[in-house]
Amino acid sequence: MKTVMILGLAMIVGLGGCASVGMRRSLVRTEPTCQDVTTPIYFEPKQASLTRDGRRVIAAAAAAARGCAVQSVRVLGLADAGGDAASNRVLSRRRAESVTAALIEAKLPPAEFAVTAAGEAGAETASGQTQPVRRRADVVLKLSKLK
């Protein structure tokens, strides 16, 4: 009797699993929303190489753009006020280029890129206060629905 109950329970569980496979095939796929994506990519101090989190954010942005027409991509590299202005300009350029390469590597749909570097410009307020979290590149994806 016990054996029959165990076999019956195993069959029910097994058949239930088969039913869910068929359900997965019938799931409705939604179309991409194709809304613009704006996201910051943060870096370690004095670094232009992407962090693991930065790569994840870039992969998510590229995934959000799949199935959409990418009208343009703007990447702005930034640096904090530490160090000299020329070095910060170079660092912010390297950050922007690093993000651009990663977007292409993440299979972002073809697009026209505008890559700029602000260096430390804007890193301090008029009163001399240092702006926080300037070790980043800002990414803006302008998206629209495919025609």
Q: Are strands 136-145 and 68-78 parallel, antiparallel or unpaired?
A: antiparallel
Give the residue-averaged pLDDT of 70-88: 94
The pTM of the full predicted model, rounded to 2 decimals, is 0.76
Res. 14: pLDDT tops 80 = no
Pairwise CA distance, residues 70 & 114, whole Å: 13
pLDDT at residue 23 is higher than 80: no
pLDDT (0 to 100) of residue 43:
96
Which pLDDT score is estimated for 4?
47
Instruction: State percent of the chain over pLDDT 90.
Output: 61
Helix H or strand E segment including 3: helix 2-25
HSE of 38 in the Cβ direction (CA atoms, 13 Å)? 1
Q: For residue 7, what pLDDT band results from cuts at 50, 70 and 90?
A: very low
**Band of pLDDT at residue 22, cut at 50, 70 and 90:** low
Q: Which of the four CATH numbers 3.30.70.1150, 3.40.50.300, 3.30.1330.60, 1.20.1050.10 does domain 37-145 have?
A: 3.30.1330.60
pLDDT confidence of residue 11: 55
